[in-house]
Amino acid sequence: MLDKINSIIDRYQELEQLMASPEIASNPKEMETLGREYNQIGKILPELKKYKEAKQSLEEAKSIIKAETDPELMALAQEEINELEEQVPALEEQVKILLVPRDPADMKNAMLEIRAGTGGIEAGIFAADLYKMYTAFIESKGWSVEILNTSAGEIGAIKEIIFMVNGEDAFGTLKYESGVHRVQRVPQTESQGRIHTSAASVAVLPEADDIEIDIEQNDLRIDVYRSSGPGGQSVNTTDSAVRIVHEPTGITVTCQDEKSQHKNKAKAMKVLKSRLYEVKRAEKEAEESASRKSMVGTGDRSAKIRTYNYPQGRVTDHRINLTLYKLDEILHGNIQELIDALAVAELNQRIKEES
């Protein structure tokens, strides 16, 4: 464990030197990437040093006992040993948790895609409710939202919305939301008062840096067309909407929110890079460990992860069998309790894998 701590301390010092170099200082993207890693290590460094110092002091006190013949000095050393032997186990458990490797992507901004699933208009209304829930949570964290693309439905419904969340540890916090969310309630469009089950899917992807994803222009097919709103209503009389197809993977991205073709293309490229980065991450994880597929933060958008039951006022997360009777609070953005429980479940699993 001390070897791991020393390597982290060495890395922290290396990052300080790199960030002070003119080459890195003149590269904002690289500076941001290294800065995130530096800040992340900086958060855990005091606890790591505290444990390291306690272990060293314990060894020194034990050496004094072996080498000394002075009863008074031996008594003082024994007293220190007794104190440290009480402190070290608790410090060691804390350090074990801190040393569990974090996904480097956790520190990145997050891209969220919310899509209406089964349930017709009601599914679109539920997708809009989820969007409101997330934006309220994001606002409470002091983060910001950048809408990348929207496709609206009827009476406030959303067919699809894609947005970037800019904030420290945004992906690491929101990644647990990936999957199918179900709602059980009487739809606004239902006059008979029957409870329906509808669904919406959420995908959370880390924002890709330019240095991580290099896209060949020859691999892209870019089409432009006129934007349209709900029901085919014309929104723009110029060809400002953009569709980008990445031919090697078949990934297709569209963006029509902006009146400028240039802005729509830039937003579409941002979405494409994040999707390609996620494909790259998934391939790497599959190679490294099959067990990661079972973890709560894998982002499988086809898995049913959570149910929002209106008649009972409850929210159930099926991955960890957690039920909270706080439906109204959660829909107003108070989802931290859910996220914390999922993070603890993932951490416990990773500790088992490391041990």
Distance separating alpha carbons of residues 84 and 108, to the nearest angstrom: 38
Is 2 a residue whose pLDDT tops 60?
yes
Sheet containing 158-166: give its strands across.
144-152, 158-166, 110-116, 196-206, 179-185, 304-309, 314-317, 322-324
Q: Encoding tokens for residue 157?
A: 């419904």
The count of other CB atoms within 10 Å of the CB of residue 231 is 8
Distance CA 252, CA 262 (A): 18
Cβ contacts of 146 within 8 Å, gap of 6 or more: 163, 164, 166
Give the per-residue pLDDT at 301. Answer: 58
Nearest to 182 by CA among 294, 26, 317, 60: 317
pLDDT number for residue 287:
63
For the chain, list the domains and their CATH numbers. 2-98 (1.20.58), 104-211+291-354 (3.30.70.1660), 217-286 (3.30.160.20)
Rounded Cα distance, 180 and 175, in Å: 13
More confident residue, 339 or 237: 339
Q: Is 244 in contact with 272 (CB distance < 8 Å)?
A: yes
Q: What is the pLDDT of residue 158?
A: 94
**How would residue 232 be classed by pLDDT, with cut points 50, 70 and 90?**
very low
**What pLDDT digit, counting tens, does each position of 262-296 carry?**
999 999 999 999 999 888 888 776 765 554 444 45
Largest CA distance in the chain: 94
Q: Cα torsion for 29, 32, 33, 34, to the nearest 10°? A: 120
Q: What is the pLDDT of residues 289-339, one digit of tens each?
A: 554 444 455 445 578 999 999 999 999 999 999 999 999 999 999 999 999
| Contact status, residue 104 vs residue 33, Cβ threshold 8 Å | no
Tokens of 122: 């009601």
Q: Alpha-carbon distance 159 to 304, whole Å?
A: 19
**Average pLDDT over the chain, rounded to an integer:** 87
Structure-block tokens of residue 52? 């390291």
Tokens at residue 252, please?
């297709």
List residues bridging with 158 in a β-sheet.
152
Give the pLDDT confidence of 105-159 residue by residue, as tens digits: 888 899 999 999 988 899 999 999 999 999 999 999 999 999 999 988 887 899 9
